[in-house]
């Protein structure tokens, strides 16, 4: 089994010991992403105070890191959502339905008190499988 750390030049640079994703190859490949959020390459929050815009930006960043690893949103088999306000759950579901291109991966939504960057309303991580 081979392991490849994925560091996307299209996303914000890692500020710690993590990769944007990890790709495990064998007969197929597993890709495990780190959490992604509504951040641009310069660590600026996209859509501050707007859960819809932050969810859209988070999914676009997730698509970017998956693409870097050779996968797409349709390859995602599991996604975890971390929400600072569980009342945003329905909006996140609506945006996800629109942007996940018909894919319905296993999912968990975890309410949390806060994120490392206080202006962020959510983060997500995913597991994808490609052949």
Q: Give pLDDT tens digits for 36-53.
A: 999 999 999 999 999 999
Residues 6+ apart with CB under 8 A from 17: none
Indicate which CATH number applies to the domain containing 9.
Answer: 3.30.1330.40
Q: Which domain holds residue 24?
A: 2-130
pTM comes to: 0.87
Q: What percent of the chain has pLDDT over 70?
A: 96
Query: What are 11-40's pLDDT values in tens digits?
Result: 988 766 668 888 888 878 999 999 999 999
Domain count, the chain: 1
Q: Is 34 exposed, middle or buried (0-12, 13-18, 19+ CB in 10 A)?
A: middle
């Amino acid at each position: 089994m081979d392991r490849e750390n994925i560091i996307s030049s299209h996303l914000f640079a890692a500020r710690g010991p993590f990769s944007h994703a990890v790709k495990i190859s064998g007969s197929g490949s597993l890709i495990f992403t780190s959490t992604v959020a509504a951040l641009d390459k310069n660590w600026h929050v996209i859509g501050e105070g707007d859960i819809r815009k932050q969810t859209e930006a988070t999914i676009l960043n997730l698509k970017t890191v998956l693409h870097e690893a050779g996968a797409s949103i349709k390859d995602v088999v599991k996604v975890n959502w971390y929400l600072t306000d569980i009342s945003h759950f329905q909006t996140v579901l609506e945006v996800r339905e629109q942007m996940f291109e018909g894919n319905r991966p296993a999912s968990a939504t975890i309410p949390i008190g806060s994120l490392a960057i206080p202006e962020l309303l959510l983060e997500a991580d995913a597991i994808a499988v490609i052949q």
